[in-house]
Amino acid sequence: MNPGIETTQLKDIVAHAKEYGFVFQSSEIYDGLAAVYDYGPNGVELKNNLKRLWWEAMTQLHGNVVGLDAAIFMEPRTWVASGHVAGFNDPMIDNLDSKKRYRADVLLEEKAAEYENAGDPARGAALTAEMGRLLTENDLAGVKELIIRENIKCAVSGTCKWTDVRQFNLMFSTQGSAVDSDAPPVYLRPETAQGIFVNFLNVQKSARMKIPFGIAQIGKAFRNEIVARQFIFRMREFEQMEMQFFVRPGTEGEWYDTWKAARRRFHEAIGLPASKLRFHDHDKLAHYAKAAVDIEFEFPFGFKEIEGIHSRSDFDLTQHQELSRKKQQYFDNDVDPATGKPYGNYVPYVVETSVGADRLFLATLCEAFQEETITEGEGEAQQTKTRTFLKLHPAVAPIKAAIFPLVRKDGMPEKAQEIFDALRFDFRVVTEERDAIGKRYTRQDLIGTPFCIVVDGQTLEDDTVTVRHRDSREQTRMPISELRTYIGEAVSFRRVFEKL
C-alpha cells in the first residue's frame, strides 16, 4: 500500500467533513484541543441516525433488551472494582531524539501488519503473539527489547533511541466535592459498561427481566489517549454504544457467537461492505475477558477496530459484589434437566457488545465518500468533471429530500413550500431557491441527500414533480401525492432491520 495515497484520502474526508458541516475541530478558534471534536449540523443528524438505528436494533428488535442512561460520574470505588484504577493502562514509549510519544503495542502491531502486507503473515502473527505474551506478563523490559530487536524506528527522527516502556493510566479525573477538598477525585467514566453493571439488579427487578436479557446504553466516555490521531478514530472524549447481555454460566459461548454474528450483520445492513469488515481475535485479553474479538473496518489507513465483542464472565458483577458487599445474584427458577431442580442463585455471566458511535460515523463517512468522473452537456459544450457525493444509506442521510422550484417565479416557490410543509412532519427536508438547478443538486450530493424534488411548469398543471436520485443522477416523474410513501419506503429503518 502506498502511504501517500492513504493519508490523502483521509485528508480529503477530514476536509469534506469540515466544509460541509459534519465535523469540526473542538475550540478551533483557539487552534483546537487535541483529539476532541464537535459535530456540525449535518454531522449531528448523521450521528443521531446511527445511534437511533443501534438503539432500536437493540431495544426494539429484541424483546429481552432494555435501555439505560447512567451518569458519567460514578462512585470512585466503581473503578477500583472494575480494575480500571490498577489496570487501565497503555504501555508508552518515547523516542529520545524526537521526543515523540508512542504506544509500544501499536508500534509492534504496525510492524506485524507490515509483515502481513509484505506477504509474510506467519512472521506477523508470531510477532503479535510474542507481544501478547509479554504484555500479559507485564514484561515491559521485554516489550522494549522486542521493539529494538524488530528495529522499529521513530517516524519523525528515524532513530531507534527509545526510553523504557512505562504504563500510563488513561482515566481522567476531576475534583469530587465542592466542599471537601480531601474528597477523593471522581473519574470521568472510561467506558459506559460499569453504569450498566452497577444497575444490573435495579433494571432486572424493575423491568422484571428474565435471564438471558440485555441492557443497552449510549453515552460519553473519556480516555486520556497517549497517541490521539486519525481524526475522530481516537478521541479523548467519545461516545460508546454498549450492550451487556446477562446469561446463565455455561451458555456464554453460544451467546458470544450469536452476538458476534448479529453485530457484523448490523454493520453490513447500514452499508459497510462485507469485503471491508473482518473479525480480529484479541491476542492480549483485557483483565476482564475470557474471549474477545474486534470487528474491524478497512479505513483509508487500514483495517481498524470499530466494535469489540467480549465474553466477560462474571468478573464485573463479582467484583462489585465484593467491594460493595451487596449481592449481585439472580434467582433462576428454570429447571436444570441434569438435576431436575431449578438452577437457583448465581452471578450471571456477561457477553458485551461495544461499538464507538464516532468510529461507526467515520466508517460510514469513509465508505460513503465517492468521487466519480462524469460527462455533462452535449456537442461543443460537453465537459468531463469529477462529481463528489456521499453515498449514504438513505436511512442515515442527514437530509432526506431537498425541494427546489425550478425558477423563482410563476408560483413555483409557493408550490415547493407547500410540498415542504406536507413532508416535514415525516422527514427532514429542505427547500432551496438560490443558484442554477445543477449547483443545487451538487450541494445536496455533497451532504448525501438521497432525493431532490423539482417543481417545474408541468407541476403547476398536473401536480407531478421530478425526483432526482443521488447515486444514479436519474430523474423520474411522479405525482406529489406519492412522494411521502416513496421517500418513506427508501429512508425507513425497516430497510436496515429486515437485513438483521
Name the β-bridge partners of 312.
none
Q: Is 235 annotated as a binding residue?
A: yes
Among 91, 195, 356, 413, binds ligand ATP (CB under 6 A): 356
Nearer to ligand ATP (CB atom), residue 222 or residue 451: 222
Nearer to ligand ATP (CB atom), residue 196 or residue 235: 235
Among 355, 406, 483, 487, binds ligand ATP (CB under 6 A): 355
| Contact status: 112 vs ligand ATP (CB under 6 A) | no
Burial 32-57 (b: 16+ CB within 10 A, else e): eeebbbebbebbebbbebbbebbbeb
Q: Is 186 annotated as a binding residue?
A: no
| Contact status: 296 vs ligand ATP (CB under 6 A) | no
First-to-last C-alpha distance (Å) of the chain: 33
| Contact status: 306 vs ligand ATP (CB under 6 A) | yes
- Cell 433494571 found at: 203
Residues 6+ apart with CB under 8 A from 67: 55, 58, 59, 215, 216, 217
Nearer to ligand ATP (CB atom), residue 86 or residue 207: 86
For 144, other C-beta atoms within 10 Å of its C-beta total 19
Question: Nearest 5°: CA angle at 197, between 194 and 202?
Answer: 130
Q: Is 241 annotated as a binding residue?
A: yes
Nine cell digits for residue 403:
425541494
Count of residues that interact with ligand ATP, criterion CB under 6 A: 16
Q: What is the DSSP string of 51-63?
A: HHHHHHHHHTT-T
Q: In angstroms, how far is CA 372 from the centroid of its own chain?
A: 27
φ, ψ of residue 151 to 5 degrees: the values are: 60, 40
Per CB under 6 A, which region of 78-86, 209-217, 350-358, 365-373 contacts ligand ATP? 350-358
Per CB under 6 A, which region of 109-117, 235-243, 318-326, 367-375 contacts ligand ATP? 235-243
Does residue 130 contact residue 107 with C-beta atoms inside 8 Å?
A: no
Tell me how far, at minimum, the Cβ of 91 lies from ligand ATP, in Å.
12
Among 130, 307, 314, 316, binds ligand ATP (CB under 6 A): 307
Among 12, 225, 432, 433, binds ligand ATP (CB under 6 A): 225
Per CB under 6 A, which region of 176-184, 354-362, 381-389, 439-447 contacts ligand ATP? 354-362
Q: Is 357 annotated as a binding residue?
A: yes
| Contact status: 354 vs ligand ATP (CB under 6 A) | yes
The whole-angstrom separation of Cα 500 and Cα 497 is 5
Tell me how far, at minimum, the Cβ of 234 lies from ligand ATP, in Å.
4
Tell me how far, at minimum, the Cβ of 46 lies from ligand ATP, in Å.
16
Chain position whose Cβ is nearest to ligand ATP: 356
The whole-angstrom separation of Cα 329 and Cα 248 is 11
Q: In angstroms, how far is CA 345 from the centroid of its own chain?
A: 36
Among 114, 257, 268, 305, binds ligand ATP (CB under 6 A): 305
Q: How many helices (H) and strands (E) does the chain have?
A: 17, 23
Half-sphere exposure of 60 (CA within 13 A, CB side): 11
- Residues of each annotated binding site: 103, 191, 223-225, 233-242, 305-306, 352-359
Residues contributing to the site for ligand ATP (CB under 6 A)? 191, 223, 225, 234-235, 238, 240, 305-308, 354-356, 358-359
- Residues of each annotated binding site for substrate: 103, 191, 238-242, 352-356
- Residues of each annotated binding site for ATP: 223-225, 233-238, 305-306, 356-359
